[in-house]
Amino acid sequence: FQNWKGLDDVDGQRVKKMIYFDVRSIRIADDGLKQQLIDKGLAKADDLKGEVVTTALFRRYMEHYLAKREDVNAKMPLLVRQLEATQAGVPMELYFFLRQKDWIPYEHAMADILEHVYAYANEFGLKVYAQAPVQ
């Protein structure tokens, strides 16, 4: 049994999702990748000075992406952080609040955000960790 009564009294529903990246795909961004990210509007030149790691770039991108979504309550805590590596890869946690409280629209918004993560991680040269299926 899930008690949803208190949800009406808050300004958003908390989201806490983990995305695992293959450690072998994490690297220092080279000049080619930096230029691609600038050309596609995924990063600013100021964020690309010096040596910068692809997970740091993606983390900053996702924080910006979430903060500008109308269905995310940017007045509530919003954080994208990298955690310690595990056997399942390097986890990145998305922590934020969706304004949407109704179950089905909430799930649709979550699907949109996760699909965005999976699609755009590749733009940063990152591979979402996937364990090979047992045959």
Read off the tokens for 93.
Answer: 């946690």
- Work out the pLDDT band at 2, boundaries 50, 70, 90: low
Q: Which tens digits make up the pLDDT trace of 32-60?
A: 999 999 999 999 999 899 999 999 999 99
Which spans in the chain are helix H?
31-39, 54-68, 103-121
d(CA 85, CA 99): 31
Higher per-residue pLDDT: 25 or 12: 25
pLDDT of residue 101: 85
Per-domain residue ranges of the chain: 12-124
- 131 or 52, greater pLDDT: 52
Q: Running DSSP on this structure, what letter comes out for residue 135?
A: -
Which pLDDT score, from 0 to 100, does residue 130 have? 80
What pLDDT is stored for residue 132 in this prediction?
64
Cβ(82)–Cβ(90) under 8 Å? yes
12-124: which CATH number, 3.90.1690, 3.30.70, 3.30.2010, 2.60.98?
A: 3.30.70
pLDDT value, residue 5 = 55
pLDDT value of position 111: 96
Mean pLDDT of the chain: 91
